[in-house]
Amino acid sequence: MRRNIIIAVFGRKGLGKTYLVKWIVRRSRRMILIDTLNEYNNGTVVYDTDALFDMAMEPEFRIVFRPLNDEDFEYALDLAIAVGNLTLVIDEIDQHTTSYSLPEKLRWVIHYGRHYNVSLVVAARMPQRIRTDITAQADVILSFQQQGKATISYLKDFTDLDLDLYVRDLEAHKFISIIGDFSLDNPPDLP
């Protein structure tokens, strides 16, 4: 049976999170990508939920969905669960969750996505600014350079690596795997 995978990408601004997310999902054949900041064009750009629904009924789809409000965002999460067997991508996920709040639909995707084979790829700058459900359930956590003590100490919880050594001094576009097996040569198998 296929196993869903949750990948979380962190790192300071402009170091390559969005670029990496595009790379990770480049072979996905069933993808809904929530593009809050209008940065993606690696699929068909869709603004309204009717069009989103129609496309997601196809056997294969690469949808870049730009929700106009929270309701449309939640619609996309509901649809992802209902359709299943797909990759859901949410860059700038800190626009939708904080350390204490998590929309119910997002909580559902994180905790029960496995049952619907919904894989999830998310990115944000600081892991401690998003709800712990996400990092706690992630199979892979990648980080670009980080400087803040709070951020590094948050990430230390997940690894025995000496993050003061490895994460503070990473060059631009370089990242490390905090948890999970991940390498650019061996991309994860996503729906």
Binding positions for ligand ATP, rule: CB under 6 A: 11, 13-19, 125, 173
Instruction: Report the half-sphere exposure of 16 (CA within 13 A, side-chain side).
Output: 15
Query: Residues binding Mg ion: what is the number (CB under 5 A)?
Result: 2
118 Cβ contact partners less than 8 Å away, ≥ 6 residues apart? 4, 80, 81, 84, 85, 86, 87, 88, 109
Cβ proximity to Mg ion: between 5 and 35 the closer is 35
Q: Shortest gap between Cβ of 174 and ligand ATP (angstroms)? A: 8
Q: E strands within the chain?
A: 6-10, 30-34, 44-46, 61-65, 86-90, 118-124, 140-143, 176-179
Give Cα separations from 49 to 65, 90, 107, 148 (angstroms). Answer: 9, 17, 21, 39
Cβ proximity to ligand ATP: between 11 and 188 the closer is 11
Q: Which window, 16-24, 27-35, 134-142, 169-177, contacts Mg ion (CB under 5 A)?
A: 16-24
Q: Shortest gap between Cβ of 75 and ligand ATP (angstroms)? A: 24
Cβ proximity to ligand ATP: between 85 and 128 the closer is 128
Q: Shortest gap between Cβ of 111 and Mg ion (angstroms)? A: 26
Binder among 18, 99, 132, 159 for Mg ion (CB under 5 A): 18
- Element (DSSP H or E) covering residue 18: helix 17-24
Cβ proximity to ligand ATP: between 15 and 163 the closer is 15
CB-nearest residue to Mg ion:
18
DSSP state of 88: E
Binds 14: which of ligand ATP, Mg ion, none (CB < 5-8 Å by kind): ligand ATP
Residue 30 gets the label, from left (phi > 0), alpha (psi -120 to 50) or beta, of beta
Distance from C-alpha of 156 to C-alpha of 104, rounded to nearest angstrom: 28
Q: Shortest gap between Cβ of 103 and ligand ATP (angstroms)? A: 21
Cβ proximity to Mg ion: between 17 and 105 the closer is 17
* Residue ranges that bind Mg ion, judged by CB under 5 A: 17-18
